[in-house]
Amino acid sequence: MSNSVNKFASDVTSADFDQHVLAASHQAPVLVDFWAEWCAPCRTLKPLLEKLAAEYGGRFLLAKVDSDKHKNIAQRYGVRSIPSVKAFVNGEMVDEFTGALPESQLRAFLDRLIPSPAQPFRLAAAEARANSELDVAFSLLEDARQADPNSEDVQLDLAELNLDAGNATAATDLLKPLEHKARDTKRLQALQARLQLVIAGGDSDPAELRARIDANPADFDARLRLANALALAQEYRPALEQLMEIVRRDKSWQDQAARKTLLNLFTLLGSDASHDALVREFRVTLARTLN
């Protein structure tokens, strides 16, 4: 196994494949890049993989196989077109892709494959959060950020924890940099939707708002604020019902604020499959009311 670029990226032959891929993958994930001299996309992909191997500093190893010179390995693993990259963990192939992916997609592939050093802290923080130990969870997530400063997951965890604590400013500061580069766009959008609820209804008194609505059913401001407060308390059906009542009575009130808040709630609830039926029900109701 020649050290052609750095100690984490090397050329592999038929003679040493089992040692430097299968055996080595018990210590760290190994990416095998099947390439050939004549392959133009290979000339694009290989330097990117070499760069990432150096950057990740041993969290994965890169094994480069010339598929023309070592056809037996390519046939053994069903390589039909190149570049073809196959990932090995604990002696088994666990993932693969074909073609020259851009760097952002390569990083996403690697992040799925390689456990982040922040993961133990994230798991402990999630347990603390479930036990309402927010201070402990914050401390653990700061440890997670130290372990992996570039982790999007840690940043989203911290934003979610700040929303639990009602700290909209801190959550905004964490979410804003991710707006145009997050890989987990579904989770980002759900947290942005929840942030809007915190901003709109975080300090409302539901009993006071209900009294206002009882006195004046057309008090749409009270209904909107109550809907936000109910959603924050995870009382989603009554929140949606309050918003639908505004739409029924006045679709255009405050530049369709109720409809926009309904869509915001649909985004929030859409991140959890257990709410699918509720979202479908109110999407249909909204469509019928607007048409």
The average pLDDT across 154-172 equals 95
Segments forming the whole domain that contains residue 240: 201-290
Q: Specify whether 265 is located in the same domain as 177.
A: no
Look at the chain and report how many structural domains it folds into: 3
The average pLDDT across 159-179 equals 94
82 with 34: CB under 8 angstroms?
Answer: yes
Give the integer Cα–Cα distance in Å for 191 and 25: 37
User: What would the two tokens of residue 102 be?
Assistant: 């851009």
DSSP state of 28: S
Domain-embedded: residue 210: yes
Query: Measured between alpha carbons, how far apart are the two ends of the chain, in Å?
Result: 68
Domain-embedded: residue 277: yes
Task: Please identify, among 68, 95, 113, the residue that sits at the C-terminal boundary of a domain.
Answer: 113
**pLDDT per position as a tens digit, 63-119:** 999 999 999 999 999 999 999 999 999 999 999 999 999 998 998 899 888 878 898
31 with 42: CB under 8 angstroms?
Answer: no
Instruction: Give the model's pLDDT for residue 116.
Output: 83
The average pLDDT across 1-12 equals 71
More confident call, 107 vs 155: 155
Residues 9, 32, 42, 265: which is the catalytic one? 42
**pLDDT per position as a tens digit, 248-263:** 999 999 999 999 999 9
**pLDDT level of residue 291 (50, 70, 90 thresholds):** confident
Give the integer Cα–Cα distance in Å for 8 and 56: 9
**pLDDT per position as a tens digit, 189-220:** 999 999 998 888 667 789 999 999 999 999 99
Instruction: Give the model's pLDDT for residue 135.
Output: 96
Give the integer Cα–Cα distance in Å for 154 and 144: 7
pLDDT at 1 over 80: no
Instruction: Give the model's pLDDT for residue 2.
Output: 41
Q: Catalytic: 43?
A: no
- The rounded radius of gyration (Å) of the Cα atoms in the chain is 26
CATH number, position 78: 3.40.30.10
pLDDT at 3 over 60: no
**pLDDT level of residue 9 (50, 70, 90 thresholds):** very high
Calculate the average pLDDT of the chain.
92
Instruction: Give the model's pLDDT for residue 125.
Output: 97
CATH number, position 131: 1.25.40.10
CB-based contacts of 232, cutoff 8 Å, min separation 6:
194, 197, 198, 201, 202
φ, ψ of residue 163 in degrees (nearest 5): -65, -40
DSSP 93-142: EEEEEES---HHHHHHHHHHHS--TTHHHHHHHHHHHHTT-HHHHHHHHH
Instruction: Give the model's pLDDT for residue 124.
Output: 96
Q: Specify whether 140 is located in the same domain as 213.
A: no
DSSP 217-285: TT-HHHHHHHHHHHHHTT-HHHHHHHHHHHHHH-TTHHHHHHHHHHHHHHHHHTTSGGGHHHHHHHHHH
Q: Specify whether 78 is located in the same domain as 144.
A: no
The average pLDDT across 269-285 equals 93
Q: Specify whether 104 is located in the same domain as 151.
A: no
Torsion angle in degrees (nearest 10) through CA of 273, 278, 280, 282: -150
Instruction: Give the model's pLDDT for residue 202.
Output: 63
Q: Catalytic: 46?
A: no
Instruction: Give the model's pLDDT for residue 266.
Output: 95
Residues 39, 110, 174, 239: which is the catalytic one? 39
152 with 184: CB under 8 angstroms?
Answer: yes
